[in-house]
Amino acid sequence: MAFKFTSPPWLAVALILASGGGIVALAAQAATDAPAAVYWSDGDSGRLPDGTKFRLHDVDSPETGSMKQRGGAKCESERIQGYEAKEAAVELTRGKAVKVAQSYGPDRYGRQVVDLEVDGTDVALTLIAAGTHKAWDYDGGDRKPDWCAWQARAPVAF
């Protein structure tokens, strides 16, 4: 006894359209040749397109984590500045080929400490010049910048 399978005509049409759509999507992706994106977890660290976790060398940005979280922001102003710093890093690298100019090895969290370049320009120096980040010689034993210090000196309004 032979089994004969008949499919409704609409199923054949749907399969043809679906496969054609996939081919168009692949062709569109290949035609853009856009570089793979850097993922920024905050303003000074993230993941490279190959998945490597990194931290920028000699730079610090405000923290974006909750004030209740270990290693998080020390004040709400720092969190706000942290999101601005992250956005500056995202915008600087969006749609650009990012190159690791130098790698200094892993930090205490296992992230590669690196200098990144976009269009031949140092990413950290560009972000510091923009005012969203600060130079920080972590390797030299400098203290982490205090992103909340101005609040302690602010006059109290009555």
Q: What percent of the chain has pLDDT over 70?
A: 73
pLDDT confidence of residue 44: 96
Assessment of whether the complete model's pTM goes beyond 0.85:
no
Q: Kindly state the average pLDDT of the residues 9-29.
A: 47
Q: How far is CA 123 from CA 98, 101, 127, 128, 137, in A?
A: 9, 10, 6, 9, 16
Quick: pLDDT tens for 29-57: 444 567 788 999 999 999 999 999 999 99
Domains of the chain in start order, with CATH, are 39-139 (2.40.50.90)
Quick: pLDDT tens for 103-127: 999 998 999 999 999 999 999 999 9
